[in-house]
Amino acid sequence: MPSVVHEIPEQPLLREHQVDTPIERVLLVRELERRQKRDGAPFLRMTLADRSGTVPAVLWRAEADDEPAVEPGTPISLTGRLTEHPRYGRQIVVSGLAEPDSGEVEWTRLVDGPARPAAELAEDLDILLGSIREKGLARLMCRLLGSDSPLGLAYRHAPAAKYNHHAYPHGLLEHSVQIAHMVSAGCDVFPGIDRDLAVCGALLHDIGKLDAYASVGGSADLTDPGRLEGEIPLGYYRVRREIEEHGDISPELARRLLHVILAHHGCLEHGSPVRPSTREAALVHAMDKLSGTMGAFDRLEKETPPDEEWSRFDRVLGGSAFFESKDC
């Protein structure tokens, strides 16, 4: 008589877990702080995640001798309870941690990804690069972002942020291609814009993130250069070095391209040393903000439990997002 195989039901995603219920599963460690209570006892404060979002977690008894290898970007097997803190909202109170077996780790459930396949986004990037008519800019972009360059390969795989938007593998590619397409369309609506310059600025505006962030296990964290110099200066100097080394474009065109990179956050308070002072820089800044806002809606919709219409408060939006019930 053949044996009966019982399939283990797939665990719900974080957003689907009910409050005040036990939790036993593998999650991805996004952030980690080793801290001490007032009596000197160690504890861990973490941010844990799967592809549906993140949730804070705390392990109150964290003895070093018993603690497994817990590091950002690594999966961890945990037991605990999902609770609702009256001040801080949902969090996991962890009772135990262990290193997961290799068969327990399902990366497709732990790490989110772009809405479109990465191969399609890479094809879009190649089409955008091929559409640049100014020969000096075309050569510059091919060296920086061409599919056969080490930087271009890194650009196609990197996340765009640590948390707020497009914070997953291929997120930088998705975010930049979105902006380049919107900028290209904007050139048909608004007069006086140099399309080649605007599209190049859109594709290069976040190139400093390749030096400012390190990506491990689908999670991004700031590098020492990222903390000490910042993504915008790092991007500015990378592009400027490339221009000065090869001399493909005139000093005037180089200055306008570098201005787009420097101004894309819009103001000093948001990290840009200068405000947008050209049509191209203003357009890239506006589309960058729009892409980030829409990315925040995408992230919040994945995090919000299916039976709720309002998300939690979000700093990017300055409020909560409303998602109409899927049953309507």
Residue 327: predicted pLDDT: 55
List the Cα angle 244/250/251 in 5-degree steps.
65
Report which DSSP code applies to 60. Answer: S
- Residues 101 and 146 grouped into a single domain: no
Residue 130 has pLDDT above 90, yes or no: yes
0.75 cut: is pTM over it? yes
The domain that contains 39 carries what CATH number? 2.40.50.140
- Residues 179 and 151 grouped into a single domain: yes
- Mean pLDDT for 170-184 is 96
Q: Is 172 left (phi over 0), alpha (psi -120 to 50) or beta?
A: alpha
Model confidence pLDDT, tens digit, residues 82-96:
988 777 678 899 988
Residue 65 has pLDDT above 60, yes or no: no
- Residues 68 and 142 grouped into a single domain: no
3-state secondary structure of 83: strand
- Residues 235 and 88 grouped into a single domain: no
Model confidence pLDDT, tens digit, residues 266-280:
998 888 999 999 999
- Residues 89 and 139 grouped into a single domain: no
Helices assigned H by DSSP within 115-170: 118-130, 135-145, 150-157
Q: Is 326 within a domain? A: no
Q: Is 6 within a domain? A: no
Structure tokens at 102: 């290799």
- Residues 138 and 87 grouped into a single domain: no
* 110: number of Cβ within 10 Å: 18
- Cα torsion 236, 239, 244, 245: sign: positive
Count of structural domains, the chain: 2
Least confident of 38-42, 154-158, 174-178, 242-246: 38-42
Residue 137: predicted pLDDT: 97
Predicted confidence band of residue 3 (pLDDT cuts 50, 70, 90): very low
Chain position carrying tokens 């800044």: 285
- Residues 148 and 89 grouped into a single domain: no
Q: Is 256 within a domain? A: yes
Residue 144: predicted pLDDT: 97
Model confidence pLDDT, tens digit, residues 117-126:
999 999 999 9
Model confidence pLDDT, tens digit, residues 197-228:
999 999 999 999 999 998 876 678 889 999 99
Q: State the residue range of the domain holding 72.
A: 14-109
Kind of pairing between the strands at 89-98 and 75-85: antiparallel
